[in-house]
Each structure stands twice: as structure tokens, then as C-alpha cells.
Chain A
Amino acid sequence: AQTVTQSQPEMSVQEAETVTLSCTYDTSESDYYLFWYKQPPSRQMILVIRQEAYKQQNATENRFSVNFQKAAKSFSLKISDSQLGDAAMYFCAYSGVASRLTFGEGTQLTVNP
């Protein structure tokens, strides 16, 4: 079974600074997808970014980018120029042959003004 691990329960960053959230996963599949979802206090799940495992190029979405290391099974999220609105719980998630999403434990990000 696939597992997703987020080893940082909490992180904080100063507004306008850069922060990196870590995620590792375990799988025997060769073709899969990885996602970062954001969950603000409203508890809505919002897609931040996604990465296809077969792509070597790291995905980017505006201020959000990933560092995907397939051999190391690592998938970190970098948030540049952090804004107050980035404060939320961030979940790393995996989707393989079965389309279900497997989530990590989450990282609570605080942005300090």
C-alpha cells in the first residue's frame, strides 16, 4: 500500500519570505501523480499544484513550485514571497493505479506579518 509522510506538523515563515514543506511517499508503482492541497480554516480542500511522475520537469504555479525527486520519493512544496493568505494546513497527496487519493498528515503553515 502507498503511504505519504509529512514530517513537519508545523512550519512558520515571515511574510514575503520563502518556505519549503516536505513530503515523502512510498510506492511500488512507476506511474502516479502527486498533489499539494491547501486547507484554510474554512476546511475547504483547494488544489495548489500537481506533478505527474513521468515528467522530469518540476511543476510550478505562480509562487508555488515543487521539488520532485523520484528516486528519493520526495515531493516538497516551495512557497515564494509568502503572503498572509497562504496560512493554512497543507496536505501532500498521492494517486496511483487506483484513483483514490492517499493523504499525508498535513503541515500547518503560519505566516507572520
Chain B
Amino acid sequence: EPEVTQTPSHQVTQMGQEVILRCVPISNHLYFYWYRQILGQKVEFLVSFYNNEISEKSEIFDDQFSVERPDGSNFTLKIRSTKLEDSAMYFCASRETSGRTETQYFGPGTRLLVL
């Protein structure tokens, strides 16, 4: 069964460093999402992406964040200058069609720790 994959599974970085989190959505999916979950808290929406542009972003998704689909398969989240509070689990999700009936399927997540 097709699944969303994410790399790396864990990343440790120093405050102020740039990190790139990678996702490979399910191949026929058209909508892509990033969410984050700070330890012990609920899952929060960051950004959605369709047709090579951001379709919606939350207030969390400030200028330090960017997303890109550099090729036909990868979807990346870049944090330019990491802060301690960026430590969280980051989930990528994808959805098949423009209809909202389609479910978002999540990847296994990348655990980011900023020291």
C-alpha cells in the first residue's frame, strides 16, 4: 500500500542552524501539508501546498519557514534559523484530489531537537 515517507526520522541541530525536512508524498496525491506536534501538545497545522504554491498557512508559519517541491516527488520544509521552540515532531501529509472527501495520509514524522 502506498505511504508517505519522511526523512530523516530524527534530527538534532544547534540553535540558529538551517534544517531541511524531507517528505515523499503518495505518488498520485496533489495536496501536501506540514503539521507539527510539540511534545505533549496537540498537532498544529503549518502549511498546505497545491500546484506548486502555498494555498494556506498558519500564524506559526512565519518567514523562518519555507516549503518547496523541488522535483516531482519530494516536498520539503526548511527552517532557516532554528530556535529552541522549533523542537517538535514534524508531520508531512498528502491528499489525493481537490475534493475534501479525501483523507489526509500522514508520514511517520521527523523528530527535530534544537539545542
Q: Are B105 and A100 in contact (CB under 8 A)?
A: no
Q: How many A-B residue pairs have CB under 8 A?
A: 56
Interface stretch among B11-19, B21-29, B40-48?
A: B40-48
Select one of B31, B103, B109 contacting A43, CB under 8 A. Answer: B109
Q: Which residues of B contact A91 (CB under 8 A)?
A: 42-43
Given known A44-B108, A100-B33, contact A95–B100 (CB-CB < 8 A): yes
Interface residues on B, range: 20 to 34
Contact indicator A47/B45 (Cβ below 8 Å): no
Set B56, B105, B109: member contacting A98, Cβ < 8 A: B56
Taking a contact as CB atoms under 8 Å apart, the answer to whether A100 and B89 are in contact is no
Report Cα–Cα, A103/B111, bound state, in Å. 19
Question: Which residues of B line the A interface, CB within 8 A?
Answer: 31, 33, 35, 37, 41-45, 48, 55-56, 58, 89, 91, 93, 95, 100-101, 103-106, 108-109, 111
